[in-house]
Amino acid sequence: MICTSIGMFAQDETFARMDVEEGVYTFSSNKKLSPTANGITVEILGKPKNTEAVLKEKFTNAKGKSGKNMKGVIGYEATTLTAISPDVLDYYYRVEEGSSKKDETSKITFFASKGELNFIDSNRYPDEMEGAKRMLKGLGKEVHIYELGLAIVAQEKVIDLEEKKQKKLEKELDSLERTKEETIKKIEQNKVDQVEQKQEIMDQESILETLKVRLETVKGN
């Protein structure tokens, strides 16, 4: 049985462990790129691998180039993500383990650029940054829904396995019932055979006594 402490249709803020924060963060270790950049970060409920899967699907479904690892961030360049902006932008993100020691939270650092590493900020591009913050806040719910989907699939497999065990038990019972019926028949037949056998012994003993009497009679003559 799977229990969840978070309602599936709760407000997006329920899944955010901290507010979305804007600032300058480490960007990439690639010397050809900027070491730091203006971006936003948030920590949400959800395993990092699942958060990465949700983000990958979001950008894969968007119009743009394929994602690539850029030594510290995953980049989707020349991409249109309407949840943030109708314009073509370059997007970069990094997913790390959050503050939870049980791998239950994800820390996301997110960057957007107008191209040529011209990273946006709230002062120059308030609408785009607000869209990015809104998307990250909503990501917690999306990851939770994704994880519930995984849990449902896993639970369906558990049930399928248990149903197979049940069918096996039913077959074993059917076999045991048939064996039981055969055993009962054999027991009853054994009882009948014993009665007949005892009678056969008595008959043979009677013949033996007759032979002994005859022998004594012959000797006496």
Provide the residue ranges of all domains of the chain, joining segments of one domain with +.
12-156
Residue 86 · residue 128 · CB < 8 Å: no
According to the model, what pLDDT value does residue 4 have?
A: 42
Decide: helix, strand or coil at residue 91: strand
Residue 111 · residue 37 · CB < 8 Å: yes
Confidence check: pLDDT of 153 > 60: yes
Q: How far is CA 172 from CA 133, 164, 166, 167, in A?
A: 59, 12, 10, 9
- List of long-range contacts for 72-81, beta carbons under 8 Å, 24+ apart: 72/26, 72/27, 72/28, 72/29, 72/30, 73/27, 73/28, 73/109, 73/111, 78/115, 81/135
Confidence check: pLDDT of 15 > 80: no
According to the model, what pLDDT value does residue 104 have?
A: 87
pLDDT of 134-148, one tens digit each?
Answer: 999 999 999 999 999
Average pLDDT on 54-77 reads 90
According to the model, what pLDDT value does residue 30 have?
A: 83
Average pLDDT on 8-23 reads 64
Collect all residues with Cβ–Cβ distance below 8 Å to 103 and sequence separation of at least 6. 47, 48, 97
Residue 76 φ then ψ, to 5°:
-125, 100
pLDDT of 121-138, one tens digit each?
Answer: 999 999 999 999 999 999
Percent of the chain predicted with pLDDT > 70? 91
According to the model, what pLDDT value does residue 67 have?
A: 87
